[in-house]
């Protein structure tokens, strides 16, 4: 079948999932209020009134129902048994993650227990369905080498658990985690279309529709929060989709999925550094995340979210471009340069907004000293 046929199925899945999510979200809202799955304001949170959470159930339910409904209509030559196995892995692991998140939305589980269950879900994907990264592409070369189990298994588990938690950490403003996840999934969808990857097209399109339907109720001012049931599921889904689409791993080519989720990953990285610098537990919550820093600079709730959407879209566009250049054989050196530039810009941005420590700005201080030295030398001449 042609890519056009795949795209057509994806569009149908997107529209049905969007409509279903818009129907289910108000029902989930009533259910959350009835069972006491609510978010109470405190000094760390930005909302000022009690809000129902557990909205991730609407995203997960619409996604799962549409995927299961579409599978029987997809010809076998479009969906090989291997691809169906990948979908089963995503649905099974996703179910575990959503149940974990829903319980946390209601009972507020400990961080250690949540981490253990996330590792268990990743192990189900790896050992139960044999889904893992297993190919090494030598940087700046064409040789392909298989990864040993001792490296492939922990790498895959680390990736799934890490990305799952990265989305959870940025879920601090109305529509933020849903929108950033939607932008990342759109990037994956575009690359799936460019490469003709039917599995990625189907999963991405349906998941994007589910997010869009929920975002109608979640954008500022939100009527419901997605809760951990949503943020953990979206993080897990992004981890799975990025693995399915980019299974040839190298320091360079692995940058593509890293760029796709650049906003949550960079925010998570700076959160770890910030807590380490301030000698606080890594899992201790604080108000130093990207969205907090932007609001402290005076940006409104809605403007902050839109700014982060823009940053996420920039990362996604870079990922699509990098993937295209890699496919054409031009990506290695271009990607290396992009990595260096983006790391520099991330550090500058982090120091400007004070995401790690407002009193420590090593790069900006160094640049200021260099400028003063240049000006002094110019005057002395």
Residue 137: what pLDDT?
A: 47
- Number of structural domains in the chain: 1
Q: What is the pLDDT of residue 265?
A: 78
Distance CA 50, CA 223 (A): 10
C-alpha to C-alpha distance for 319 and 312, rounded to whole angstroms:
11
User: Is residue 168 annotated as involved in ligand binding?
Assistant: yes
Cβ 26 vs Cβ 36: under 8 Å = no
What pLDDT is stored for residue 329 in this prediction? 60
State phi, psi for 248 to the nearest 5 degrees: -95, 105
Average pLDDT along the chain, 381 residues, taken 10 residues at a time: 72 96 97 91 64 95 95 67 79 96 94 95 92 58 55 87 87 89 91 82 94 95 94 94 58 59 78 76 69 78 90 85 68 66 75 69 74 72 60
Supply the DSSP string of 213-229, one letter for each residue: HHHHHHSSSPSS--HHH
Report d(CA 286, CA 147) in Å as an integer: 38
The Cα–Cα gap between 216 and 222 comes to: 9
Check residue 249 and give its pLDDT. 37
pLDDT of residue 297: 80
Element (H, E) at 66: helix 56-70
Q: What is the pLDDT of residue 45?
A: 57
CA 276 to CA 258: how far, in whole Å? 23
Domain residue limits at 117: 3-380
Q: Are 225 and 55 in contact (CB under 8 A)?
A: yes
Peptide bond into 126 cis (omega under 30): no
228 annotated ligand-binding residue: yes
Can you give the pLDDT at residue 381? 60
Chain centroid to Cα 253, Å, comes to: 18
């Amino acid at each position: 079948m042609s890519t056009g046929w795949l795209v057509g199925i994806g569009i149908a899945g997107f529209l049905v999932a969007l409509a279903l999510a818009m129907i289910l979200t108000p029902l989930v809202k009533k259910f959350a209020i009835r069972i006491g799955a609510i978010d109470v304001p405190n000094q760390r949170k930005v909302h000022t009134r009690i809000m129902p959470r557990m909205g991730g159930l609407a995203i997960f339910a619409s996604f799962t129902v549409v995927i299961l409904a579409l599978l029987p209509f997809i010809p076998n030559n479009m969906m090989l048994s291997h691809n169906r196995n990948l979908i089963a892995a995503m649905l099974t692991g996703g179910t575990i993650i959503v149940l974990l998140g829903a319980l946390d939305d209601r009972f507020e589980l400990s961080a250690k227990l949540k981490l253990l269950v996330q590792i268990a879900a990743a192990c189900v994907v790896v050992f139960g369905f044999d889904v893992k990264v297993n190919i090494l592409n030598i940087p700046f070369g064409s040789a392909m080498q298989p990864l040993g189990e001792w490296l492939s298994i922990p790498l895959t588990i680390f990736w799934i658990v890490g990305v799952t938690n990265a989305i959870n950490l940025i879920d601090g403003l109305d529509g933020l985690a849903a929108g950033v996840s939607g932008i990342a999934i759109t990037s994956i969808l575009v690359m799936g279309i460019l490469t003709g990857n039917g599995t990625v097209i189907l999963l991405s399109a349906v998941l994007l529709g589910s997010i869009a339907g929920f975002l109608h109720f979640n954008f500022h001012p939100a009527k419901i929060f997605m809760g951990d049931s949503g943020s953990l599921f979206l993080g897990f889904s992004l981890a799975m989709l990025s693995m399915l689409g980019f299974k040839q791993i190298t320091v360079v080519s692995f940058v593509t999925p890293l760029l796709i989720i650049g906003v949550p990953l960079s925010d998570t990285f700076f959160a770890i550094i910030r807590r380490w610098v301030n000698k606080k537990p890594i899992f201790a919550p604080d108000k130093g995340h990207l969205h907090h820093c932007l609001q402290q600079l005076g940006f409104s709730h809605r403007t902050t979210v839109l700014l982060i959407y823009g940053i996420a879209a920039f990362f996604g566009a870079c990922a699509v471009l990098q993937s295209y250049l890699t496919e054409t054989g031009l990506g290695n050196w271009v990607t290396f340069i992009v990595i260096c530039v983006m790391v520099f810009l991330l550090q500058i941005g982090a120091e400007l907004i004070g995401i790690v420590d407002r009193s420590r700005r090593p790069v900006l201080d160094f640049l200021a000293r260099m400028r003063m030295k240049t000006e002094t030398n110019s005057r002395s001449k």
